[in-house]
């Protein structure tokens, strides 16, 4: 009742009351997939400090949540820091990621593909937590043509809104934003 739109809800996977994902056994690649998901799915992402630096501790088999320590260093060249920076630019520049509806396009226990849409803006995301996989044909909702992943630099060709023969490497994530030409005016106003 308080929130009419799911894009207004805060989403997170770590906080001050929970063990960090890596303390629970997730490797850095799984953490990368979790960050990609939370920064591209609906809602307002909330990243707990240190996640971009892989801050964790495995004391007592991860039972110590290690959720309030001081950070001894800050590395802007850390891979997850760079990932967050790239995806923050996508969120800022693509209105579909900010406000768009979410459409599941492929779902298995290992692979999740979804698209976000708002007006003419689009974003297609593919996450593979398993081994190499080949998807015969996946609806992307992107316009026909070539689209480049902001994470890998891979270019995918879309025909009739679909990608055929989508290869996903083990642990791979793809994010393909499409920003349509802006309509007249700069502001988007939402009434509730």
pLDDT in tens, 105-114: 999 999 999 9
- Tens digits of residue pLDDT in 42-75: 999 999 888 898 887 766 666 666 666 777 778 8
Do 129 and 30 meet the contact criterion of CB atoms below 8 Å apart? Answer: yes
Half-sphere exposure of 167 (CA within 13 A, CB side): 5
Tokens of residue 180, six digits: 């349509």
- Tens digits of residue pLDDT in 94-147: 999 999 999 999 999 999 999 999 999 999 999 999 999 999 999 999 999 999
């Amino acid at each position: 009742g308080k929130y009419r739109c799911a894009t207004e809800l805060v989403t997170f996977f770590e906080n001050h009351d929970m063990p960090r994902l890596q303390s629970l056994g997730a490797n850095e690649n799984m953490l990368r997939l979790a960050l990609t998901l939370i920064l591209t799915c609906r809602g307002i992402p909330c990243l707990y400090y240190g996640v971009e630096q892989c801050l964790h501790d495995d004391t007592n088999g991860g039972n110590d949540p290690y959720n309030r320590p001081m950070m001894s260093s800050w590395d802007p060249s850390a891979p997850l820091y760079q990932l967050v920076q790239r995806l923050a630019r996508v969120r800022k520049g693509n209105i579909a990621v900010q406000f768009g509806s979410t459409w599941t396009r492929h779902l298995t226990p290992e692979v999740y593909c979804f698209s976000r849409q708002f007006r003419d803006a689009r974003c297609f995301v593919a996450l593979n937590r398993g081994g190499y996989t080949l998807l015969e044909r996946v609806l992307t909702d992107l316009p026909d043509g070539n689209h480049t992943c902001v994470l890998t630099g891979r270019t995918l060709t879309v025909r009739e809104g679909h990608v055929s023969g989508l290869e996903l490497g083990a642990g791979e994530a793809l994010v393909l934003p499409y920003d349509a030409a802006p309509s007249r005016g700069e502001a988007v106003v939402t009434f509730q």
